[in-house]
């Protein structure tokens, strides 16, 4: 099914919409993998409107929102920020795709690619050497999406939810 969406840069006041999509996407992705209580606690902390407000207030960060037409319902977003990943060769000119979320109902229509293209274009315009991201090692669909876009594995990290560690792959896209 094709959906009409629009993609726009985020502005102050979008933090509630971003938090809602972040929470819904995290639940949708990890229900049945992580404990329900752990998901709720993680979302309360990592997807609180204040987290998004901080990114919106930070000039080093860029955010985009995908909205469904008609009605402009928020259905996806991307966040690019200075990189904070455990890599020995992390450089000041690396950027990180902190989040790229799209509700599953909107997968397959090219909107994930559009969100990613906005992030890559921003990183290039900012003079970044590479765009990095962390993705749950068990999310084969997401890893395949990034690999098809040219990302390559460069490391791993541990991601804690509910007191339990999970493995993430760190992927990199060279921008030069």
pLDDT for the residue numbered 3: 67
User: Residue 95: is the preceding peptide bond cis (ω within 30°)?
Assistant: no
Beta-strand pair 94-102/130-136: parallel
Q: What residue ranges of the chain have pLDDT lower than 50? A: 1
pLDDT for the residue numbered 70: 85
The domain segmentation of the chain, as residue ranges, is 5-174
pLDDT for the residue numbered 176: 82
Q: Can you give the pTM of this predicted structure? A: 0.94
Domain 5-174, CATH number (from 3.90.1150.200, 3.40.50.300, 3.40.640.10, 3.40.630.30): 3.40.630.30
pLDDT for the residue numbered 146: 97
What gap in Å lies between CA 72 and CA 38, rounded to an integer? 30
Q: Determine the 3-state secondary structure of 152 from DSSP.
A: strand
pLDDT for the residue numbered 2: 56
Contact 106, 76 (CB under 8 A): yes
């Amino acid at each position: 099914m094709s959906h009409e969406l629009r993609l726009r840069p985020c502005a102050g006041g979008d933090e509630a919409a971003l938090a809602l999509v972040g929470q819904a996407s995290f639940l949708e992705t990890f229900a049945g993998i992580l404990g329900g209580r752990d998901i709720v606690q993680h979302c309360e902390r990592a997807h609180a409107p204040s987290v998004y407000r901080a990114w919106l207030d930070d000039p080093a960060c860029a955010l985009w929102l995908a909205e469904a037409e008609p009605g402009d319902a928020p259905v996806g977003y991307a966040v690019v920020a200075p990189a904070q990943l455990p890599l020995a060769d992390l450089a000041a000119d690396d950027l990180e795709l902190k989040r790229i979320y799209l509700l599953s109902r909107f997968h397959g229509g090219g909107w994930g690619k559009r969100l990613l293209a906005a992030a890559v274009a921003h990183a290039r315009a900012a003079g970044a050497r590479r765009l990095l991201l962390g993705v749950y090692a068990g999310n084969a669909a997401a890893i395949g999406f990034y690999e098809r876009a040219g990302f390559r594995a460069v490391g791993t990290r541990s991601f804690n939810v509910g007191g339990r560690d999970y493995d993430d792959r760190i992927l990199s896209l060279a921008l030069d």
